Amino acid sequence: MNWDKIEGNWKQFAGDLKARWGKLTDDDLTVIAGKRDQLAGKLQERYGYAKDRAERELDDFIQSV
């Protein structure tokens, strides 16, 4: 799967994202609206991840769906 599909079906994937990263709020997911760079930034903010770790986490997520 690629990020374009996730972005296109954002509302469907928002629940999966929240299940995986419970510190993300509904408001966070609404503001992110499928934008990968914004999601990576929120992961860094909420979880204290370094940028490369946030990107790895997102890559793992894409592979899992």
Tens-digit pLDDT profile for residues 5-44 = 888 899 889 999 999 999 999 999 999 999 999 999 999 9
Residue 46 confidence (pLDDT): 96
CATH number of 3-64: 1.10.1470.10
CA dist 29 to 6, 10, 11, Å? 13, 9, 9
Residue 2 confidence (pLDDT): 83
Per-residue pLDDT tens digits for 38-49: 999 999 999 999
